[in-house]
Amino acid sequence: MKDSLLMKEVNEVFQEVFDDPKLIITKETNASQIENWDSFAQINLIVSFEDKYNIKFDTKEISTLTCVGDMIELIKKKRVGR
């Protein structure tokens, strides 16, 4: 999958989780930049990505995520590994 397509899909998940169809993210976007991105939203994002891409994250991996770019790289890694 091309990075641009993956970024588009990730953005769509963010729009759905945060119920904001106008939300635009970048690889640098982090929790401090999106209102309501708290631990509950983080769980919803993780579960949404796991469901969408049929992958599983472990707690250690989740704890290393600091921005959208980290999420994208982890999704890419998990998709290659399956």
- pLDDT band, very low/low/confident/very high, at 82 (cuts 50, 70, 90): low
Categorize the per-residue pLDDT at 14 as very low, low, confident or very high, splitting at 50, 70 and 90: very high
Superfamily classification of domain 3-80: ACP-like (1.10.1200.10)
The whole-angstrom separation of Cα 72 and Cα 6 is 8
In this prediction, residue 76 carries a pLDDT of 94
Q: Which of residues 3 and 16 earns the better pLDDT score? A: 16
CB 23 within 8 A of CB 34: yes
CB 18 within 8 A of CB 37: yes
CA–CA gap between residue 55 and residue 49 (Å, rounded) = 8
Cβ atoms of 82 and 54 closer than 8 Å = yes
Is the full-model pTM beyond 0.85? yes
